A and B are shown apart, each in its own frame.
Chain A
Amino acid sequence: MNIKLTSPAAVAAALAGLMATAPVLAADYVQAPGTGSTLAFATKYDGEVFTGSFPGFSTRISFDPANPAAGTLEVTIPLAGARSGNSDRDSTLQGEDFFNVAKFATATYSAKGFTKTGDNRYVANGELQLRGVSKPVAFTFDWTPGANPVLTGRATVKRLDFGVGGGDWKDTKTIPNETAISTVVKLQAK
Chain B
Amino acid sequence: MTIRNTRDRWGSVSQGLHWLIALLILLLGIVGLTMGELPRTPKFFWVYTAHKSLGITVLVLVALRLAWRLYAGAPEPVPGTPTWQERIASATHWLLYVLMFALPLSGWIYDSATGLRPFRWFGLVDVPKLVAPNPGARDVSHAIHEWGFWLLIAVVVAHAGAALYHHLFQRDATLARMLPQRWIASPQKD
Contact = CB atoms under 8 A, between A and B. Distances in A.
Contacts of B133: 85-86
B73 interface: no
> Which of B41, B42, B114 counts the most chain A CB atoms within 10 A?
B42
Contacts of A89: 116
A168 interface: yes
Given A97-B41, A168-B42, A86 B117 contact: no
Contacts of B161: none
Given A85-B133, A86-B133, A45 B117 contact: yes
Contact of B43 (A47, A48, A168): A168
B115 A86 contact: yes
> Helix, strand, loop or mixed for chain B's interface?
loop
A88 interface: yes
A46 B40 contact: no
A93 to B, nearest CB: 11
Nearest to A167: B41
Contacts of A167: 41
Interface in B106-127: 114-118
Interface in B96-150: 114-118, 133, 135
A169 B115 contact: no
Given A85-B133, A86-B133, A47 B118 contact: yes
A169 B45 CA distance: 12
Contact of B41 (A46, A48, A86, A168): A168
Contact of B40 (A48, A85, A92): A92
A169 to B, nearest CB: 6
B115 A85 contact: yes
A92 B118 CA distance: 18
Interface string A153-169: 00000000000000111
A169 B43 CA distance: 9
Contacts of B115: 50, 85-86
Contact of A174 (B42, B114, B116, B135): B42
B53 to A, nearest CB: 15
Interface string A83-106: 001111100100001000000000
Interface in A64-90: 85-89
Contact of B116 (A45, A47, A168, A169): A45
Nearest to B134: A85
Nearest to A50: B115
Contacts of B42: 168-169, 171, 174
Contacts of B41: 97, 167-169
Interface string B37-49: 0001111000000
A168 B117 CA distance: 16
Contacts of A169: 41-42
A85 B136 CA distance: 12
B117 A88 contact: no
Interface of A: 45-48, 50, 85-89, 92, 97, 167-169, 171, 174
Given A48-B118, A97-B41, A169-B42, 12 more contacts: A45-B117, A45-B118, A46-B117, A46-B118, A47-B118, A50-B116, A85-B133, A86-B116, A87-B135, A89-B116, A168-B43, A174-B42
5 contacts: A45-B118, A86-B133, A88-B114, A169-B42, A171-B42
